[in-house]
């Protein structure tokens, strides 16, 4: 992947900048990264080979612009117009611009930007909930043809559901922080963000774990060389409609342990069958209720991206609905959090049968009360 750094050096503006790798790398060679200067590669998109052809060609892939600075940095205002000229001229290349300064885009866009250029993807970095809620409404409100989001280093739980639902975000990437002072990345945040992407069928990349990775409450310190492979190994990147989540390895909870955990949850243990539910179940017979459960699980939970996921199970109206809330089988988020079944995959017949079994165990137990 070609990188085009027209200038080098930057100024820190948000929490994600605290351990900026440009600063870290420059410090290690005694350089001051806050000094911003044009590089010798300023005109790289126009550079030619000895044969007279362009050095950067489309077959080498997307051109990542300004990876040791920020394209919309104010200090670079006087240099940017020339960069836009090169991007316009090289309409055969696709440029990827990653920024923490999407709020400067309006001031920095070229005069003929119009509804956006086909060969430019603008990617806003959102490291935490505050930056997400500030930057994404701006990104979505701008005339841009291709928008992406990067949560890296991800510093906390992020809810970008409402922004993903617009259908205007093409890709989300997340990852942890590297270096000696790295802040931790909790796998629970990664899974939650991934679930939001799955719900809106937006591709998601879990790029790397960072140096300090928390999984199921345990903290792991990972060398740099392991951070990307470990993320890849988890299988938690997601491309819609490819079956990629089928490869995620997981273990179903032991039944006893599950029911004991459910009984300790204030929310889950509040659910009980009403007299009406019991009467209904008694009248229909347990086999019919099981058939209903199988049908609800198949139609409302099993698709890769179930309709209305998170809200597909009513709070009343059928004993199986109550069982679904009580046993945390109400949506794909709960199935992942309580039963380890990854979201973003079509549930197999075995997985469906397991869920139906859990629901029926709960119902049969309630009928005995």
Binding residues for ligand SF4, rule: CB under 6 A, are 10, 12-13, 16-17, 20, 22, 69-70, 100
Coil, helix or strand at residue 65 = strand
CA-based angle 215:358:267, to the nearest 5?
A: 65
Helix and strand numbers (H, E) in the chain are: 13, 12
Place of tokens 């505050």: 130
Q: How far is the CB of 63 from ligand SF4 (least distance, A)?
A: 17
Q: How far is the CB of 309 from Zn ion (least distance, A)?
A: 9
Q: How many residues bind Zn ion (CB under 5 A)?
A: 3
Phi, psi of 54 (to 5 degrees): -70, 145
User: Between 6 and 16, whose beta carbon lies closer to ligand SF4?
Assistant: 16
Q: How far is the CB of 135 from ligand SF4 (least distance, A)?
A: 12
DSSP letters for 341-369 = --SSSPPPHHHHHHHHHHHHHHHHHHHH-
Does residue 341 interact with Zn ion by CB under 5 A? no
**Residues within window 321-340 making contact with Zn ion, judged by CB under 5 A:** 330-331, 334
Q: Which does 35 bind (CB under 5 to 8 A by kind): Zn ion, ligand SF4, none?
A: none
User: Between 14 and 361, whose beta carbon lies closer to ligand SF4?
Assistant: 14
Phi, psi of 95 (to 5 degrees): -105, 140
Residue 69 carries which DSSP code? S
Distance, CA of 200 to CA of 161 (rounded, Å): 8
Q: How far is the CB of 85 from ligand SF4 (least distance, A)?
A: 23
**Residues within window 231-290 making contact with Zn ion, judged by CB under 5 A:** none
Does residue 126 interact with Zn ion by CB under 5 A? no
Q: How far is the CB of 31 from ligand SF4 (least distance, A)?
A: 14
Q: How far is the CB of 16 from ligand SF4 (least distance, A)?
A: 6
Contact 214, 185 (CB under 8 A): yes
How are strands ordered across the β-sheet holding 63-65? 3-4, 63-65, 95-99, 120-125, 146-151, 171-175, 204-208
Q: Which does 17 bind (CB under 5 to 8 A by kind): ligand SF4, Zn ion, none?
A: ligand SF4
Distance, CA of 103 to CA of 18 (rounded, Å): 20
Distance, CA of 311 to CA of 192 (rounded, Å): 16
User: Between 136 and 334, whose beta carbon lies closer to Zn ion?
Assistant: 334
User: Between 56 and 331, whose beta carbon lies closer to Zn ion?
Assistant: 331
User: Between 102 and 301, whose beta carbon lies closer to ligand SF4?
Assistant: 102
User: Between 100 and 195, whose beta carbon lies closer to ligand SF4?
Assistant: 100
User: Between 75 and 248, whose beta carbon lies closer to ligand SF4?
Assistant: 75
Annotate 230-241 with b (16+ C-beta within 10 A) or e (fewer). Answer: bbeebbbbbeee
Q: Which does 282 bind (CB under 5 to 8 A by kind): Zn ion, ligand SF4, none?
A: none
User: Between 20 and 193, whose beta carbon lies closer to ligand SF4?
Assistant: 20
Q: Which does 10 bind (CB under 5 to 8 A by kind): ligand SF4, Zn ion, none?
A: ligand SF4
Q: Which does 330 bind (CB under 5 to 8 A by kind): ligand SF4, Zn ion, none?
A: Zn ion
Q: How far is the CB of 267 from ligand SF4 (least distance, A)?
A: 39
Coil, helix or strand at residue 208 = strand
Q: Which does 331 bind (CB under 5 to 8 A by kind): Zn ion, ligand SF4, none?
A: Zn ion
Distance, CA of 139 to CA of 163 (rounded, Å): 10
Q: How far is the CB of 355 from Zn ion (least distance, A)?
A: 12
Q: Show the tokens assigned to 309.
A: 């996921």
Give residues in contact with Zn ion (CB under 5 A).
Answer: 330-331, 334
């Amino acid at each position: 992947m070609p990188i085009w750094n027209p200038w080098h050096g930057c100024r820190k503006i948000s929490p994600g900048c605290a351990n900026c790798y440009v600063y870290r790398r420059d410090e290690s060679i005694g350089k001051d990264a806050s000094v911003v200067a044009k590089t010798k590669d300023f005109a790289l998109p126009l550079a030619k080979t000895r044969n007279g052809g362009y050095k950067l060609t489309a077959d080498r892939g997307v051109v990542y612009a300004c990876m040791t600075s920020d394209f919309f940095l104010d200090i670079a205002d006087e240099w940017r117009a020339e960069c836009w000229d090169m991007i316009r001229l090289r309409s055969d290349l696709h440029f990827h611009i990653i920024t923490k300064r999407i709020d400067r885009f309006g001031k920095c866009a070229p005069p003929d930007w119009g509804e956006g250029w086909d060969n430019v993807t603008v990617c806003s970095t959102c490291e935490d909930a505050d930056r997400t809620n500030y930057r994404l409404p701006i990104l979505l409100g701008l005339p841009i043809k291709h928008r992406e989001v990067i949560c890296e280093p991800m510093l906390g739980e992020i809810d970008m559901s409402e922004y993903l639902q617009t259908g205007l975000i093409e890709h989300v990437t997340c990852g942890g922080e590297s270096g000696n002072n790295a802040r931790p990345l909790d796998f629970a945040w990664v899974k939650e963000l991934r679930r939001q992407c799955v719900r809106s069928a937006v591709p998601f990349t879990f790029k790397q774990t960072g140096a300090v990775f928390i999984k199921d409450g345990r903290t792991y310190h990972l060398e740099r060389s392991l951070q990307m492979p470990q993320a890849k190994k988890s299988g938690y990147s997601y491309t819609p409609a490819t079956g990629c989540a089928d490869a995620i390895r997981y273990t179903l909870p032991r039944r006893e342990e599950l029911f004991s955990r459910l009984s300790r949850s204030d929310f889950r243990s509040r659910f009980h069958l009403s007299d009406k539910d019991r009467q209904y179940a008694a009248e229909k017979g347990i086999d019919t209720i099981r058939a209903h459960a199988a049908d609800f699980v198949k139609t409302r939970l099993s698709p890769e991206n179930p309709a209305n996921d998170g809200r597909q199970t009513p709070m009343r109206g059928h004993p199986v609905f109550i069982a679904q809330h009580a046993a945390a089988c109400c949506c794909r988020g709960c199935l992942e959090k309580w039963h380890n079944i990854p979201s973003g995959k079509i549930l197999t017949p075995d997985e469906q049968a397991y869920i139906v079994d859990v629901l029926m165990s709960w119902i049969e137990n309630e009928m005995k009360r």
